[in-house]
């Protein structure tokens, strides 16, 4: 798992960069930054970054979701959830959550816009995280007492919440 941390951190930083400078300023993370440095400073910085580094729509709107799926899949891989006689591999949870969120957006159950490209990005990055990295560790029940690795897994899910759009 330790060798995956650099991929996780890089993915989270790329997503953070995109959210800060290209997505709506109504996301939770952008609200935190605006309250920290002021809206005027944030707007000036955002404008400068957009002029210096224009990005296409796929990178702005779908890549971050794929990267989130990648991160939470890598951190979820070593775990399972035990439910009676059934064992659920936690690495499928990010795929279910991301696709479920898109369906919820399609049905207007939650804010956001349904985008098939988000689903494609999620599936592609989920496959990369699932099959491109060797994981010979024994799976552990995620609901057992918290340790450092479990904490990283829970924190990675919490970081995804920072992309939530506020009213």
- Greatest alpha-carbon span in the chain: 56
Q: Sheet of 79-83: strands edge to edge?
A: 86-89, 79-83, 140-141
Per-residue pLDDT, averaged over 7-20, amounts to 91
- Judged by average pLDDT, the poorest of 67-71, 116-120, 150-154 is 150-154
Q: What confidence category does residue 121 fall into, taking pLDDT thresholds of 50, 70 and 90?
A: very high
Q: Report pLDDT for 158.
A: 78
Query: Given the structure tokens 């709506």, which residue do they identify?
Result: 24
Q: What is the residue extent of each domain of the chain?
A: 1-166
Average pLDDT of the residues of the chain = 87
Cα(first)–Cα(last) distance of the chain, in Å? Answer: 37
Q: Report pLDDT for 123.
A: 96
pTM: 0.84
Q: ∠ at Cα 6 (112, 16), nearest 5°?
A: 30
C-beta separation of 159 from 21 below 8 A: no
Q: What confidence category does residue 167 fall into, taking pLDDT thresholds of 50, 70 and 90?
A: low
């Amino acid at each position: 798992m330790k060798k995956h941390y650099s991929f996780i951190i890089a993915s989270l930083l790329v997503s953070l960069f995109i959210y800060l400078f290209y997505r709506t300023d109504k996301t939770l993370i952008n609200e935190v930054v605006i309250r920290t440095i002021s809206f005027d400073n944030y707007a000036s910085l955002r404008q400068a970054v957009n002029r210096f580094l224009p990005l296409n729509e796929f990178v702005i709107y779908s890549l971050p979701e794929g990267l989130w799926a990648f991160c939470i899949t890598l951190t979820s891989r070593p775990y399972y959830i035990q439910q009676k006689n059934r064992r659920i591999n936690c690495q499928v949870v990010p795929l279910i959550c991301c696709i479920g969120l898109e369906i919820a957006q399609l049905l207007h159950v939650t804010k956001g816009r349904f985008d098939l490209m988000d689903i494609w990005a999620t599936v592609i990055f989920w496959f990369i995280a699932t099959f491109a990295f060797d994981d010979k560790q024994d799976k552990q029940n995620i609901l057992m007492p918290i340790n450092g690795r479990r904490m990283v897994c829970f924190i990675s899910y919490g970081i995804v919440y920072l992309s939530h759009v506020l009213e």
